[in-house]
Chain A
Amino acid sequence: MSNYTDELVDFDEALDRYDPVLGFEVHVELNTKTKMFSDAPNAFGDAPNTNVTPVDLGLPGVLPVVNKTAVEYSILIGLALNCQIAEKCGFARKNYFYPDTPKNFQTSQYDDPIAHDGWLDIELEDGEVFRVEIERAHMEEDAGKLTHMGGAAGRIQGADYSLVDYNRAGVPLVEIVTKPIVGAGKRAPELARAYVAAIREIVKNLGVSDAKMERGNVRCDANVSLMPKDAEKFGTRTETKNVNSLRAVEHAVRFEIERHAAVLDSGNKIVQETRHWHEDTRSTTSGRPKSDADDYRYFPEPDLVPIVTTAEWVEELRSRLPEPPADRRKRLKAEWGYADKEFRDVVNAGVLDEIEATIAAGTSAAVARKWWMGEIARLAKAAEKEIADLGVTPQTIVELNSLIEAKKINDKIARQVLEFVLAGEGSPAEIVEKRSLAVVNDDDALGKAVDDAIAAMPDVVEKIKGGKMQAIGALMGPVMKATRGQADAGRVREIVMEKLGL
């Protein structure tokens, strides 16, 4: 339900008069084996309230214990965002009553985040680079999941009752907060999308999160405000909560810019509040008022001791950092020699790793791209799966390719063989052998098939003799049929020419 009635101003028009200021809070769920403060499994999709211990339920008497791996993952994220790592930091309690929070406080970090003062360069599609300043990245725990039954809109207000699943309660989170981002202008929505995409890519590349937005592994709250051109003071912001796809981030920022402009144009004030994002109407509606004076009565978590990060520990973690995704892309594009669009398509299809592995296993960059962006992408689409999840190995591609290069099979057969490989019939070579799929190069067999075709289609033969060489194609059908598609098309053509004395 999204009964918004807000007036909007055309995007370009809005940005002729106003400068947007953005800010993002991105929550990243870490993929540690256990939760932030308990040894319950950190797993998605299990039966409700099964991955819980007394600690996760906030039972009387329980105490938290910090997950060291979660701290290491948080430091890795901080380092990847070019942050300073705090030498000493601690947890704090954020107190508020809500039934998805078992203790009625969230254990978080307040004035001493583990990572602070970093930056990230975001490259837009045309190569323009924006530097986004990172204010902080801090550790905290996720809340449980509420499902509101009955009533309208699936919200707690008006629900008959609510169900709560504490499996997610206590899952480790890192919240990454930017400084205000100024100067993006009309590229603000695009930058918003690219920023969240970059964070998702970084945490995935670090291996610290499954980074699936559809599962809520990466969740974005997008802050937007407008100020008149030439103004120095930021306008009042709104915070659109839980914008959980890249497309939605872009649309939400665009919508809020258009809405803010209309409110400001009419002489009214923006209400500082949270906004709900509605995917169906691509619009936001008013949430709850939010002021900077929200009182969570933060105080240092007395059940935990401070975290001390030694220089050796941080350097050891720094040495584990993989190549940053943006650097890697630049390097791979140069190495592979793909055109801009080719490379962009490969990135968007999410098969950079697969192509890199296939090339490493022995194919050319062009062959790797042909397979992954062609037949494999088609199969994935048909199976409604991610390309990477289809189960094609680089080794299979290498084998198929060498069979083609050895002229044992043609492209068409190779595609069939791939399907048999995915059906679990064995390696490409085994399948070609077992199913007798090797290309028919036997001139006797081909000659007979050609003779039959010539005899069956005298009119076509006449056309060919009359100089219409493309008519040879009409003979190819019956020949292929006779050889079950295994004929080498080039050789068939040569034989036809010979037989017709051309």
Chain B
Amino acid sequence: MNELIKLSAAELAAKLRAGETTSVEAVQAHLDRIAEVDGTLNAFLHVNAEEALAVAAEVDAIRAAGGAEAEALHPLAGVPIAIKDLIVTKGQPTTAASKMLEGWMSPYDATVIEKIRAAKLPMLGKTNLDEFAMGSSTEHSAYGVTRNPWDLGRIPGGSGGGSAAAVAAFEAPLALGTDTGGSIRQPGAVTGTVGVKPTYGAVSRYGAIAMASSLDQIGPVSRTVLDSALLQELIGGHDPKDSTSLPQDLEGLVAAAQTGAAGDLSGVRVGVIKELQGEGYQKGVQARFNESLELLKNAGAEIVEVSCPNFKYALGAYYLIMPSEVSSNLAKFDGVRFGQRVLPTEGPLTIERVMGATRAAGFGDEVKRRIILGTYALSAGYYDAYYGSAQKVRTLIQRDFDAAFEQADVLISPTAPTVAFELGANDNDPVAMYLNDVATIPANLAGVPGITVPGGLSEGLPVGIQFLAPAYEDARLYRAGAALETLLEKQWGHTLISQAPAIDTASIAQEA
């Protein structure tokens, strides 16, 4: 394995700046790694080798020439990145892991992609996900499952399993994810990586294919807290194309990560959410969580218990609001203007029947399930009882957060109740799969930011620790997250990801 791929984004960036390596070398090393392991993992739906190498060569040329242009390069220039295939990109296919968009090329770039291009990060390709980001396992991709690099028989989490697995397997140092109910954080937890859902509106959603508009948020995926901070500072900021984007930039994220890395949390109040532990959480998960609390306490943090009594309604409210928005957001996929068009095999070719046949063939079962749920929840006569009530719960959850943040600067919980489950384990029990997001969903409903940091292993599989902060206070996540990362690594004497087993590419038949 080329040692370049083991570097964090910050380390690689430093080497590039120092002229110790080139972006072309770094990109090629990652492409080689993808070639080596991705036939087994299936983290990538599309590999963008040619363009990535061209961008890398451009960065190298600018650096070699020196002068003002080299000085003006973004700190992450030349560091490769993978993109969740829910985010539209010119020049590469965007599928949302759905048959519906097979072969579709976006004529425009998402705002985050424009920023990545402007900063000259070579894009390695597009990563796998649950179809239209609906799932917690990446088993619901129309293009095959992604495997967890820690255990090829297990799920990498979802929906952003591709981005998390790619970063965990050293196929990329950085990736973009999207988080609607935990799709960045839960895969981060089960793959031993870092993932951040920023404050709602901190990163433009323009160009992220909408699942549930009021919950979706693009965020960074990485192996270190500092790398996520670097990436969020790059992709964040107001976007006039997204009316829900925050008017102000969130600043000081990298600085907060650097402060936190000293491992000192004196005076920081950390609130343990009573409702997000105990029953339903695996013993190993709870044990790692408790150990982290001890470390934080020893580092000067004041541990307080907070209660968020309405969190028990979060999952129910989420599974009304999210499908309602899904049912409307996915209406545009009808075969009329773009993507797949499927004609009915018999009967007249009316527009209704062509739309129907297209949607029947183009969407997978989980997507259809949510469209049907949402259509029902918004129907006349049911709206108040379902969508209306769920919105009230949402307000109550926001109030719970407000009250909790009176007592604590950041909140803490396990990111997911279990370690990665086995592929196929929840095939016939969607609710069991939905329960995986029980700890991550409240942040989406309230719009507050959350981070997952590797918290150790249980049964040889990663456990994630989640911090939550008040809206706009993403910097607190980076400080607390970096502190815990430092404290744990000091205790272990190594990073968690360095303990991941070698990927046995021979065990899984290479897919064509």
Contact = CB atoms under 8 A, between A and B. Distances in A.
B94 interface: yes
B106 A61 contact: yes
A61 B334 contact: no
Interface stretch (B74-82, B200-208, B298-306, B433-441): B200-208
B331 A95 contact: yes
Interface in A75-128: 93, 95, 97, 99, 102-105
Contacts of A302: 212-214, 244, 325
A297 B378 contact: yes
Interface in A284-330: 293, 295, 297-299, 302-305
Interface in A115-158: 156
Interface in B202-227: 205-210, 212-214
Contact of B240 (A65, A93, A95, A97): A65
A293 B243 contact: no
A455 B380 CA distance: 96
A59 B89 CA distance: 12
Contacts of A303: 210, 213, 243-244
With a 10 A CB-CB cut-off, give which of B210, B244, B327, B331 has the most chain A CB atoms. Answer: B331
Given A156-B351, A303-B244, A59 B108 contact: yes
A99 B96 CA distance: 22
B210 A93 contact: no
Contacts of B94: 60-61
A362 interface: no
A38 to B, nearest CB: 10
Nearest to A296: B380
Contact of A95 (B212, B214, B334, B378): B378
Contact of A59 (B338, B355, B379, B380): B338
Interface in B90-105: 94, 96, 101, 104
A103 B333 CA distance: 8
With a 10 A CB-CB cut-off, give which of B96, B334, B387 has the most chain A CB atoms. Answer: B334
Contacts of A293: 380
Nearest to B214: A302
A299 B206 contact: no
A254 to B, nearest CB: 35
Interface in B129-157: none
Nearest to B330: A104
A50 interface: no
B324 A65 contact: no
B351 A105 contact: no
A326 to B, nearest CB: 38
A305 B244 contact: yes
B331 A104 contact: yes
B21 interface: no
A298 B352 CA distance: 21
A60 B213 contact: no
Contacts of B88: 59-61
Contacts of A63: 205-206, 210, 241-244
B107 A97 contact: no
A37 to B, nearest CB: 9
B378 A61 contact: no
A62 interface: yes
Interface in A37-88: 54, 57-66
A255 B365 CA distance: 51
A303 B329 CA distance: 10
Nearest to B104: A60
B380 A103 contact: no
A60 B380 CA distance: 27
Contacts of A64: 243
A416 interface: no
A293 to B, nearest CB: 6
Query: Chain A at the B interface: mostly helix, strand, loop or mixed?
Result: loop
A156 B214 CA distance: 35
Nearest to B204: A63
A162 interface: yes
Contacts of B268: none
B244 A295 contact: no
Contacts of B328: 93, 95, 105, 297, 299
Given A99-B351, A303-B244, A104 B375 contact: no
A97 B352 contact: yes
Nearest to A103: B332
Given A60-B332, A62-B206, A162 B351 contact: yes
Interface string B30-64: 00000000000000000000000000000000000
A297 to B, nearest CB: 4
Interface in A180-207: none
A150 B135 CA distance: 45
Contact of B379 (A60, A104, A295): A295
B281 interface: no
A182 to B, nearest CB: 28
A105 B325 CA distance: 12
B375 A297 contact: yes
Contacts of B325: 299, 302
Given A97-B331, A305-B244, A61 B208 contact: yes
B131 to A, nearest CB: 13
Given A95-B331, A103-B331, A295-B379, A61 B209 contact: yes
B272 interface: no
A58 B378 contact: no
Nearest to A66: B243
A59 B205 CA distance: 14
Contacts of A58: 332, 337
Contacts of B96: 60
A65 B241 contact: yes
A54 B387 CA distance: 29
B383 interface: yes
A462 B157 CA distance: 118
Nearest to A164: B336
B218 to A, nearest CB: 11
B87 interface: yes
A105 B328 CA distance: 7
A64 B208 CA distance: 13
Nearest to A162: B351
Contacts of A103: 331-332
Contacts of A156: 351
Contacts of B241: 63, 65
Interface in B315-372: 324-325, 327-328, 331-334, 336-338, 351-352, 355
A104 B332 contact: yes
30 contacts: A54-B107, A54-B108, A58-B337, A59-B88, A59-B106, A59-B337, A60-B96, A60-B104, A60-B333, A61-B87, A61-B209, A62-B206, A62-B207, A63-B210, A63-B241, A63-B242, A65-B240, A95-B378, A97-B331, A97-B334, A97-B352, A99-B334, A99-B351, A103-B332, A299-B325, A302-B212, A302-B214, A303-B243, A304-B243, A304-B244
Given A63-B206, A297-B328, 12 more contacts: A59-B88, A60-B101, A60-B333, A61-B106, A61-B208, A63-B241, A65-B242, A103-B331, A104-B334, A297-B378, A302-B213, A303-B213
Those 10 A-B pairs whose CB atoms lie nearest each other, nearest first: A104-B331, A302-B213, A302-B214, A297-B378, A61-B207, A60-B209, A61-B88, A295-B380, A58-B332, A103-B332
